[in-house]
Structure 1
Amino acid sequence: MLDYSLDISAVERDLALPDLVAEGEELDALVSAEADWTQPTPAQGWTIAHQIAHLAAADANALIAIRTPEAFDTVLKQREAAGPHSADLEADAGAAKPRSVLLEQWREGRTELAAALRDIPLDRPFPWFGSDVTATLTVALRLMETWAHGQDIYDTLGVPHPPTTRLRHVASLGVAGIPLSFYAAQLPIPTVPFRVELTGPEGQTWVWGPEDAEQQVQGPALDFCLRVTQRRPLSDTALQATGADARKWLEIARVFL
Structure 2
Amino acid sequence: MPDPSAVAVFADLHEEGAELDSLVAELPAAGWAGPTPAPGWSVAHQIAHLHWTDRASLLALTDAVAFAVLVEEAAKAPDSFVDAGAEEGAVLDPAELLARWRAGRAALDGALAAAAPDARFPWYGPPMKAASMASARLMETWAHGQDVADALGVRRVPTARLRHVARIGVRARDYAYAVRGLAAPAGEFRVELTAPGAPGAPGASAEVWTYGPEDAPQRVTGPALDFCLLVTQRAHRADLALTASGPEADRWLDIAQAFAGPAGPGRAPGESR
Query: Is the pair's TM-score, using the shorter chain for normalization, greater than 0.5?
Result: yes
Secondary structure, in 3 states, of the residue corresponding to 1:45?
coil
- Correspondence for 1:190: 185
Deviation for aligned residue 1:122: 1.2
**Whose helix fraction is larger, Structure 1's or Structure 2's?**
1
Contact 1:23–1:147, Cα closer than 8 Å, also in 2: yes
- Correspondence for 1:237: 240
In structure 2, stretches of 5+ residues that fail to align are 198-204, 262-273
1:162-201 matched pairs, under 5 angstroms: 162-201=157-196
Secondary structure, in 3 states, of the residue corresponding to 1:219?
strand
Indicate yes or no: 2:98 matched with 1:95: no
- Correspondence for 1:144: 139
- Correspondence for 2:59 among 53, 64, 67: 64
Deviation for aligned residue 1:82: 2.4
1:126-145 matched pairs, under 5 angstroms: 126-145=121-140
1:27-42 matched pairs, under 5 angstroms: 27-35=20-28, 36-42=31-37
- Correspondence for 1:250: 253
User: Matches of 2:64 and 2:164 in 1, distance apart?
Assistant: 25
- Correspondence for 1:215: 218
Deviation for aligned residue 1:85: 1.3
- Correspondence for 2:45: 50
AA partner of residue 234 (structure 1): R
User: For residues 230 and 84 of structure 1, do their structure 2 counterparts lie closer, same or farther at Cα, with a shift above 3 Å needed?
Assistant: same
User: Matches of 1:26 and 1:138 in 2, distance apart?
Assistant: 19
User: Matches of 1:126 and 1:90 in 2, distance apart?
Assistant: 21
Contact 1:11–1:136, Cα closer than 8 Å, also in 2: no
User: Matches of 1:193 and 1:104 in 2, distance apart?
Assistant: 44
User: Matches of 2:11 and 2:58 in 1, distance apart?
Assistant: 18
Deviations 1:129-149 (A, max 9, x none): 022111011010000000000
Secondary structure, in 3 states, of the residue corresponding to 2:34?
coil
AA partner of residue 73 (structure 2): Q
AA partner of residue 231 (structure 1): R
Secondary structure, in 3 states, of the residue corresponding to 2:209?
strand
Deviations 1:72-128 (A, max 9, x none): 110011112223111111101110111111101100001110111011011111110
Secondary structure, in 3 states, of the residue corresponding to 2:192?
strand
**RCO comparison, higher one (Cα < 8 Å, 6+):** 1
AA partner of residue 46 (structure 1): W
User: For residues 85 and 64 of structure 1, do their structure 2 counterparts lie closer, same or farther at Cα, with a shift above 3 Å needed?
Assistant: same
User: Matches of 1:126 and 1:201 in 2, distance apart?
Assistant: 32
- Correspondence for 1:111: 106
User: Matches of 1:15 and 1:33 in 2, distance apart?
Assistant: 29
Secondary structure, in 3 states, of the residue corresponding to 1:241?
strand
Secondary structure, in 3 states, of the residue corresponding to 2:45?
helix
Question: Paired residues, what number?
Answer: 248
Secondary structure, in 3 states, of the residue corresponding to 1:84?
coil
User: Matches of 1:59 and 1:193 in 2, distance apart?
Assistant: 32
Among all aligned residue pairs of Structure 1 and Structure 2, give the percentage whose two residues are the same amino acid: 46
User: Matches of 2:56 and 2:136 in 1, distance apart?
Assistant: 13
User: Matches of 2:75 and 2:48 in 1, distance apart?
Assistant: 19
- Show structure 1 runs of 4+ deviating over 4 A: none
User: For residues 120 and 174 of structure 1, do their structure 2 counterparts lie closer, same or farther at Cα, with a shift above 3 Å needed?
Assistant: same
AA partner of residue 213 (structure 1): A
Deviation for aligned residue 1:159: 0.7
- Correspondence for 1:18 among 11, 14, 34: 11
In structure 1, stretches of 5+ residues that fail to align are 1-9
